[in-house]
Amino acid sequence: MMNRSSEADDTHCSMAVDEDIDMMVKEEIEVYEEPVLSQEVEVSVKQEWESNQCDMSYASDSLIRHQRTHTEEAPYQSNQCDMSFSQQVNLILHQRMHNGEKQYQCKQCDKDFSQKEKLIRHQRMHTGEKPYPCNQCDKAFSRKDKLIKHQRIHTGEKPYQCIQCDMVFSQKSSLINHQRTHTGEKPYQCNQCDMAFSQKSSLIRHRWTHSKEKLNQCCQCNQFFSLKSTLINHQRTHTGEKPYQCNQCDMTFSQKSSLINHQRTHTGEKPYQCNQCDMAFSQKSSCIRHQWTHSKEKLNQCNQ
């Protein structure tokens, strides 16, 4: 018969395991959201080791996890799908998707989330909070990954390179879309005909050719548009409305994209870099026209 002391030890052990898992999840979430090195480091207890692939230093167990970012090792395999993860805590969070476990509920709407940090990011849609400001312009973002993507506009960083040509991209999604020009892959299939497309946006526009319902019709010229936002932009050609004003001069614009292009005349920003020389341009169209000066192929040449 187990004495009370043993029962107490077992209960304490079980609670300790649960607390360890909760702590591991909490630490991983904090690192994902905004990595911050603790200022209270017990030097006498933890010895730091330097990664042999970069200049970062970590405690022994943290170094092992960090090195997987270089090796892309993912030893934790989901038993319900083909997904694998470099960290055990990410596997635990992923499995909640299969189990349907969504313990974090938004108090302002009916949405539930399996991870606390996803709830926090979602709530910023309600509050309008944008805790990640750009240190080079006035923009701010609700998510850190969006800030990182935005900052590449200022730095010109393009970390994603095509393995089949020399093209480089600032966004991973742009690289994926580009690679389909090499592979011919068209993953977006129309469910009403045999047409397929490499871009989701192209499929959405195509589907309107099948639809008899024309929701987005201009009441002044009877033109139809696949997107409501496109209709709103079009209607400004009739009304003359220019709701986008430059904060550095008196110029106003009917399209937000036109305002962004104009503001580069003030900032001197040139985010479009030629991939064959050092020239850079404020407008994408100018970069495309310039790139033809490098091409020996003159497709649009007058024969007279």
Total domains in the chain come to 2
Q: What is the pLDDT of residue 4?
A: 44
Residue 249 lies in a domain: yes
Report field, pTM of the whole predicted structure over 0.75: no
State pLDDT tens for residues 56-99.
Answer: 666 656 767 777 777 777 788 888 788 888 788 778 777 777 77
Q: What is the pLDDT of residue 183?
A: 92
Q: What is the pLDDT of residue 205?
A: 78
Residue 38 lies in a domain: no
Residue 260 lies in a domain: yes
Residue 124 lies in a domain: yes
Q: What is the pLDDT of residue 267?
A: 87
Among 93, 128, 163, the domain-final residue is 128
State pLDDT tens for residues 169-208.
Answer: 888 888 898 899 899 999 999 998 999 999 888 888 788 7
Please state the φ and ψ torsions of residue 149, each to the nearest 5 degrees. Answer: -65, -40
Q: What is the pLDDT of residue 195?
A: 93
Residue 52 lies in a domain: no
Q: What is the pLDDT of residue 188?
A: 92
Q: What is the pLDDT of residue 156?
A: 86
- The position carrying tokens 């497709």 is 299
Burial class (CB in 10 A: 0-12, 13-18, 19+), 285: exposed
Residue 281 lies in a domain: yes
Q: What is the pLDDT of residue 166?
A: 81
Q: Which residues of 66-99 are buried (b: 16+ CB within 10 A; e: fewer)?
A: bbeeeeeeeebeeeeeeeebbbebbbebbbeeee
Among 71, 101, 128, the domain-final residue is 128
* Domain hosting residue 262, numbered range: 243-295
Residue 275 lies in a domain: yes
Residue 107 lies in a domain: yes
The CATH number that applies at residue 89 is 3.30.160.60
Below-70 pLDDT ranges, the chain: 1-53, 55-61, 63, 100-102, 212-215, 226, 295-304
Q: Where are the alpha helices (DSSP H) in 49-197?
A: 60-71, 88-99, 116-127, 144-155, 172-183
